[in-house]
Amino acid sequence: MSSTTARTGVAPRRRHVGPLRIALTRAASPFGEALAAQLGVSGDRVVGLDDRAGALGDVDWRPGDIGSPTVVGALDDVDVLVHLAWEPDLSQALGEQSSARRARQLAQVRTLTTAAAAAGVGHLVVVSSAMAFGARADNPVPLPEDSPLRADDAEGMVADLVAVERELEVVARLHPGLRVTVVRPSAMVGPGVDTMITRHFEAPRLLTVRGTTPAWTFCHVDDLASALRVVAHEDLPAEVTVSSWGALTQSEVEEISGMRHVELSETAAFSAAGRLHRLGVVPVPATDLAYVVHPWATDPAVLAAHGWFPAYDNAACLSVLLEGVRGHHAVMARRLRSRDAVGAAAAGAASAAVAVVATAALMRRRRSRD
């Protein structure tokens, strides 16, 4: 045993130069399979952990419940465990009761941390989101990678991620021999990505709030995969952000997308969002509106210092996002069907604000008939 290990109980970190066996949770989902396909391109072996086997033939599928202690058996020969705590599928996430979703996510991170330590896995990587930093008017652009988590959400999926990160911090202390890294990508784009950010671009017009200066930073799934390979092989800090370089202004986003905006006051926008969420019209809390209003942009400085560079810039990522949402219509993260009365009103509305009002009016009529 080295003197460092003897003093601290933790083996000194060093760069991994050979192939690794990397396990990925939720690997059978469309987003997980896109990530798994890229993780193995440099020779690393990918182990797929999910409740079912996926379609990729070059992945070592080990089906099971990642929230069950029995997952330890699937980690026996794994070097790095990557856990996707971030939810890439908004429809699926919203199909689960919020309290049950939070409980499941906390149980999963506890179980996986304990199982990884018990199985001798050297490194646990948890993929969260830069949303955990919070979107605030006073955020610097870019946010430092070691910024405190200042998300205002008390409910919703951002609040889930903050709770998961807090739980991870507590549980990881019980296993000092397990190296833990939290990876926080910016707004994700690519296969299998359906989020409140992508749905923002499904509205008839882009909602803006008077007096605010949003800064748009994106991350393509391929760039997240290449970043995870660097995290697995290099000696990096415990917190890493992944994104394209720089940030797009609101006017640049409008120019690239060809979409016009509708401007509301901050009071009007958040008040409307709060009312519609309470009525059950929109699925996300009003605080989530901040992520399309205030900056939460990051730069991948730590990764860049280790030779990583994104293949997609922000403009290219936005183009991928726009292609992915083509044909969909949404109002404040509520996806609408074209045959819905609400959907028809939203699709033909002169602005996102009109679509919101139309949605609220329809809900009042429905409630009056009940």
Where is mean pLDDT largest: 73-77, 274-278, 283-287? 73-77
Q: Using one digit for the tens of pLDDT, what is the confidence trace for 101-149?
A: 999 999 999 999 999 999 999 999 999 999 999 999 999 999 999 999 9
Q: For residue 155, what pLDDT is reported?
A: 83
In 114-244, at which residue ranges do the beta strands (DSSP E only) sit?
Answer: 123-127, 179-185, 187-189, 206-209, 218-220, 239-242
100 pLDDT above the threshold of 50: yes
Average pLDDT of every residue of the chain: 86
Q: How far from each other are the two terminal CA atoms of the chain, in whole angstroms?
A: 72
Of 216, 215, 221, residue with least CA distance to 324: 221
> With the CA atoms of 235, 304, 56 and 80 taken in that order, what torsion angle do they form, in degrees rounded to the nearest 10?
10
pLDDT of residue 140: 96
Eight-state DSSP code of residue 287: G
Q: Which residue has the tokens 């889930």?
A: 160
370 is a domain residue: no
**Residue positions counted in the chain:** 370
Report the distance separating Cα 355 and Cα 349, nearest Å.
6
Distances (CA, A) of 135 to 215, 219, 242, 291, 304: 10, 17, 17, 5, 24
Kindly state the greatest CA–CA separation across the chain: 75
pLDDT for 85 beyond 60: yes
Q: How confident is the model at residue 238 (pLDDT cuts 50, 70, 90)?
A: very high
On the question of pLDDT at 335 being above 50, the answer is: no
Name the band, by pLDDT with cuts 50, 70 and 90, for residue 15.
Answer: low
How far CA 140 is from CA of 136, 149, 239, 322, in Å, comes to 9, 14, 18, 27
- pLDDT of res. 42: 87
Structurally, the chain folds into a number of domains equal to: 1
| 232, part of any domain | yes
CB 298 within 8 A of CB 244: no
Q: Is residue 369 part of a domain?
A: no
- Residue 143 forms part of a structural domain: yes
The residue among 331, 84, 88 whose CA lies nearest residue 190 is: 88
Q: Does residue 197 form part of some domain?
A: yes
Q: From CA 153, how far away is CA 170, in angstroms rounded?
A: 21
**Confidence grade of residue 284 (pLDDT, cut at 50, 70, 90):** confident
Please determine, for residue 68, whether its predicted confidence score (pLDDT) is greater than 70. Answer: yes
Q: Is the pLDDT of residue 360 over 80?
A: no
Would you call 168 exposed, middle or buried from its count of C-beta atoms within 10 A (0-12, 13-18, 19+)? buried
Which neighbouring-strand residues pair with 143? 298
Q: For residues 334 and 280, give the distance between their C-alpha atoms in angstroms, rounded to a whole number.
A: 10
Q: Note the pLDDT of residue 254.
A: 97
Has residue 313 been placed in a domain? yes
- Nearest residue to 108 (alpha-carbon basis) of 79, 71, 61: 71
d(CA 101, CA 157): 9
Q: pLDDT digit string (tens) for 153-182? A: 778 899 999 999 999 999 999 999 999 999
**347: pLDDT confidence band, cut at 50, 70 and 90?**
very low
The predicted model scores a pTM of: 0.86
Closest CA relative to residue 107, chosen from 25, 178, 187: 25
Residue 361 has pLDDT above 60, yes or no: no
Indicate if the pLDDT at residue 336 is higher than 80: no
CA angle 299–310–330, rounded 5-degree value: 80
SS3 367: helix
* pLDDT of the residue at 7: 30
Residue 275 has pLDDT above 60, yes or no: yes
Range of the domain at 58: 3-364
pLDDT 10s digits, 290-333: 999 999 999 999 999 999 999 999 999 999 999 998 855 444 44
Residue 206 lies in a domain: yes
pLDDT at 154: 79
pLDDT number for residue 120: 97
The pLDDT score that the predictor gives to residue 369 is: 59
195-233 pLDDT, tens digit per residue, is: 989 988 988 888 889 999 999 999 999 999 999 999 999
- Residue partners of 304: CB distance under 8 A and separation at least 6: none
Name, in order, each residue with C-beta under 8 angstroms of 185's C-beta and a sequence gap of 6 or more: 86, 127, 129, 130, 219, 224, 227, 241, 242, 243
Residue 219 lies in a domain: yes
**Percent of the chain whose predicted confidence (pLDDT) is above 70:** 83
Domain of 26, CATH number, reads: 3.40.50.720
